[in-house]
Amino acid sequence: MNFQVPLIAPSILAADFSKLGSDIQDAVKGGASWIHCDIMDGHFVPNISYGPGVVKAAKQSAPEAFMDVHLMIENPGMYVEAFVQAGADLISVHYEADHHLHRCIQNIKKYGLMAGVVVNPATSLHNIEPVLGDVDLVLIMSVNPGFGGQSFIQKSYDRLRELSQMRDKGNHGFLIQVDGGVNLKNAQKVAEAGADILVAGSSVFSAQDITARFKELQGKLG
């Protein structure tokens, strides 16, 4: 799929699930080419969100959109196939959640999908160096995962710059994604720090006019 970065990926965790398809289409009308799906299990993170059925519904609502699935769950490798069947184009798993991270990444790629690795705010980026040559995307959490609507952790700017330097030094091709607390005030600064994909939930779907808000956010990125 062709897409230009940096871009905003609206997170449907913040959408109104009573009109999920409509909310997603409003974002797509604003230019959204990625849809971000946050999967929470109540074990790895202190909240439960939704499963493959909602991802499938999201894909049906916007079949032209790139379906970006972020697994905040224990034993993510057990559920890869279910999310493949639901329509995922990219599956990202947490470094902290899988003791066999390399195998899980290879399993995702076996299905022809893009694979990503995610790091929590307190996890050193050097922990993921062994898989940087294997992943298509690295997601830096700029909040502690589990709930939407949190404030952006300021240290994340330094982490984005550090990861960008690691990418350049290793001559890697992965995309850099950031998730948590992205809004109109900080989106430009986040992109300038090195983010290619900025996940935005509440700042998109809490707006009265989702289409206009998405355009406004995307416009902050140049």
| Structural domain range at position 77 | 7-219
Q: Which of 23, 38, 68, 98 is catalytic?
A: 38
Asked whether residue 2 is assigned to any structural domain, the reply reads no
Tell me: the pLDDT tens digits for 51-71?
999 999 999 999 999 999 999
Does the residue 183 lie in any domain?
yes
In a domain, 122, yes or no: yes
Q: Alpha-carbon distance 88 to 109, whole Å?
A: 12
Residues 152 and 186: beta-carbon distance below 8 Å: yes
* Cα distance between the two ends of the chain: 21
Is pLDDT at 1 greater than 60 in this prediction? no
Strand partners, 198: 8, 178
| Residue 67 pLDDT | 98
Q: Is 158 a catalytic residue?
A: no
Please say if the pLDDT value at position 153 is more than 90. Answer: yes
Give pLDDT tens digits for 105-131.
999 999 999 999 999 999 999 999 999
Per annotation, catalytic residue among 68, 98, 179, 196: 179
Sign of CA dihedral 216, 217, 220, 222: negative
Whole-structure pTM value: 0.96
Q: Domain of 175: which CATH number?
A: 3.20.20.70
Q: Is there a domain that residue 1 lies in?
A: no
23 is catalytic: no
